[in-house]
Amino acid sequence: EIVLTQSPDFQSVTPKENVTISCRASQSVGSFLQWYQQKPDQSPKLLIKYASQAFSGVPSRFSGSGSGTDFTLTITSLEAEDAATYYCHQSGNLPWTFGQGTKVEIK
């Protein structure tokens, strides 16, 4: 089973700051890495697929990069509505797995 480790676990950020979240895989997943956003009491929502492809309707301030074992989600100029927990997810190998999540709080 591929283990995804996100860092940091928690980040407190002021609006308009840039946010970077890392996701490291225990073995290569190619580019089969997604990012989801989950707000309290809501279902997760897809932000980025295939490491760097923004999903339909996702604001341009969200971007993804990386391949193999190291991936990054970047939120450029954070907005208050971006307060949420962010998860990476690999679909390169069964069983599919998720990172433990990174909670982003607005200062």
Partner 1 sequence: QVQLVQSGAEVRKPESSVKVSCKASGGTSSTFGISWVRQAPGQGLEWMGRIIPVLNIANYAQKFQGRVTITADIATSTTYMELSGLTSEDTAVYYCARDPGVAALIHYFESWGLGTPVTVSS
8 preceded by a cis bond (ω within 30 of 0): yes
Amino acid at 87: Y
- For partner 1, give the closer residue by CB, 43 or 60: 43
Range in contact with partner 1 (rule: CB under 8 A) among 19-27, 60-68, 73-81, 90-98: 90-98
67 binds partner 1 (CB under 8 A): no
CB atoms within 10 A of CB 96: 14
Could you say which of 13, 46, 83, 106 contacts partner 1 (CB under 8 A)?
46
What would the two tokens of residue 94 be?
A: 């069964």
Asked if 37 is part of the footprint of partner 1 (rule: CB under 8 A), the reply reads: no
Residue (49 or 78) nearer to partner 1, CB:
49
Question: DSSP label at 16?
Answer: T
Q: How far apart are CA 67 and CA 29, in angstroms?
A: 7
- Euclidean distance between the first and final Cα of the chain, in Å? 36
d(CA 71, CA 29): 10
The answer to the question of residue 66 lying near partner 1 (CB under 8 A) is no
Q: Which of 13, 17, 28, 45 binds partner 1 (CB under 8 A)?
A: 45
Residues of this chain that interact with partner 1 (CB under 8 A) are: 1, 32, 34, 36, 38, 43-46, 49-50, 55, 87, 89, 91, 94-101
